[in-house]
Amino acid sequence: MTTSRHRKPLTFLPPYLLERIASGGGPRLRDCARHTLLVDHGLRARAGGVALPQGSARRGEPARYVHSADRQQRLPGRLVRGEGEGASGDAAVDEAYHGLGATYRLFWEVFQRHSLDDRGMALLATVHYGQDYENAFWDGNQMVFGDGDGELFNRFTIAIDIIAHELTHGVIQYEAGLVYSHQAGALNESLSDVFGSLVKQYRHEQSVDQADWLIGAGLFTERVAGRALRSMAEPGTAYDDPLLGRDPQPGHMDDFVETREDNGGVHINSGIPNRAFHLAATTLGGHAWEGAGPVWYDTLVDSRLAHDSDFAAFAELTRDNAGRRFGASSREAEAVREAWRTVGVLP
């Protein structure tokens, strides 16, 4: 079990998107983006500093705590809603509460995992963080959500897959401990997208054909020319906006982006393993949490998954785990193999 490799907060919005706004937006948008970048940079010194409240001793039952920072940069802030309490009337608080619960339910009901650490860890969230803060992050102990600027970004609790994405960073922290750089970091981001999407699909009881396979749908305001932050089905097509630019994600190793920015392209190159999961899931049909999902979960918790694994190593483990779970010659195992071949990771 890994608890120490992710002390640097993992943010939902990639820095390159905020940098575009900081250099090309109007005065207020530039200020918001620059402030967010400064906050994100400064978070590194205070990651995981909040002591967690009591967790859940009963398997199958979460322990949720949602606080408000009241637009200040303080954690965890003022407790607004605890486990079992009724709606607060604050949209961000209640969205966070239900998002924490939906994430717990997927991991418990599908994978029998008791919270992020499988030991009943408290699910702690803070909303209304900072002034016009344009991000959400996992800091090693808790979730934090900004309210956005209201012009380009809505509140960051608005999409359940954003909440589940960031919480999955916690599961990764306690299992594989994937280093947050280059291909291992892109796998970290991709796994968070995979389980973020699975939480959304599970909550809405969607088949693979009914799912939108978008990450962060609803985050952009109507002012932005985009559907979401990422598309797992079609990486590189989620947005194409005059200010934000075009979605830079590749969907094949031929287009892999070599860069020193964004920790070696963790938010960019994650499109490749994202597409592999989408291909495997849609080939199998039905519910993704019953086909490809268990294979990816088995691989996440596999002791053979090294903290610095690259795409090829992860792909080989998914092939092996699909064979172990469904049979080496099963259609599930073949779907997984073909998915990784299609995106150029396996020959």
Tell me whether the omega of the peptide bond preceding residue 76 falls within 30 degrees of 0, making it cis: yes
31, part of any domain: yes
pLDDT level of residue 46 (50, 70, 90 thresholds): low
The DSSP code for 109 is: H
Cα three-residue angle 111-113-116, rounded to 5 degrees: 130
Q: What's the pLDDT tens digit per position in 117-159?
A: 999 999 999 999 999 999 999 999 999 999 999 999 999 999 9
| Range(s) of the domain holding residue 288 | 182-342
Q: Is the pLDDT of residue 7 over 60?
A: no
Kindly report the average pLDDT of the chain as a whole number: 95
51, part of any domain: yes
What pLDDT is recorded for position 204? 98
318, part of any domain: yes
Catalytic residue, candidates 166, 175, 189, 332 = 166
Residues 236 and 333 in one domain: yes
Average pLDDT over residues 321-333: 98
CATH code of the domain covering residue 296? 1.10.390.10
End-to-end CA distance of the chain: 32
Q: Which residue(s) pair with 331 in the sheet?
A: none
User: Among residues 102, 90, 99, 163, which one has the least CA distance to residue 128?
Assistant: 90
309, part of any domain: yes
Q: Is the pLDDT of residue 45 over 60?
A: no
**CA 92, 204, 56, 303 torsion-angle sign:** negative
pTM of the predicted protein model: 0.96
167, part of any domain: no
Number of domain units in the chain: 2
What pLDDT is recorded for position 223? 97
Residues 99 and 14 in one domain: yes
Q: Is 267 a catalytic residue?
A: yes
Cα three-residue angle 254-255-258, rounded to 5 degrees: 110
Q: What's the pLDDT tens digit per position in 256-291?
A: 999 999 999 999 999 999 999 999 999 999 999 999
Quick one: the chain helix, strand, coil %, rounded to 5?
Answer: 40, 10, 50
What pLDDT is recorded for position 43? 77
What pLDDT is recorded for position 4? 39
264, part of any domain: yes
What pLDDT is recorded for position 57? 96
Higher-confidence residue of 207 and 45: namely 207
Give DSSP secondary structure letters for 201-216.
Answer: HHHTT--TTT---EES
Contact by Cβ (8 Å): 108, 60: yes
Q: Is 166 a catalytic residue?
A: yes
d(CA 112, CA 106): 9
CATH code of the domain covering residue 93? 3.10.170.10
Residues 51 and 101 in one domain: yes
What pLDDT is recorded for position 42? 85
φ, ψ dihedrals at 303, nearest 5°: -65, -15
Residues 316 and 236 in one domain: yes
Contact by Cβ (8 Å): 272, 343: yes
Residues in the chain, total: 347
Tokens read off for 155 = 């509140």
Q: Is the pLDDT of residue 234 over 60?
A: yes
Residues 241 and 323 in one domain: yes
Residues 139 and 215 in one domain: no
Q: Is the pLDDT of residue 48 over 80?
A: no
Q: Is 128 left (phi over 0), alpha (psi -120 to 50) or beta?
A: left
d(CA 329, CA 307): 29
d(CA 193, CA 187): 10
Residues 100 and 209 in one domain: no
Residues 28 and 117 in one domain: yes
Average pLDDT over residues 187-197: 98
Residues 202 and 71 in one domain: no
263, part of any domain: yes
Percent of the chain with pLDDT over 90: 94
Catalytic residue, candidates 35, 267, 278, 287 = 267
Higher-confidence residue of 142 and 44: namely 142
Average pLDDT over residues 6-15: 83
Residues 17 and 110 in one domain: yes
281, part of any domain: yes
Q: Which amino acid is at 13?
A: L
d(CA 227, CA 239): 6
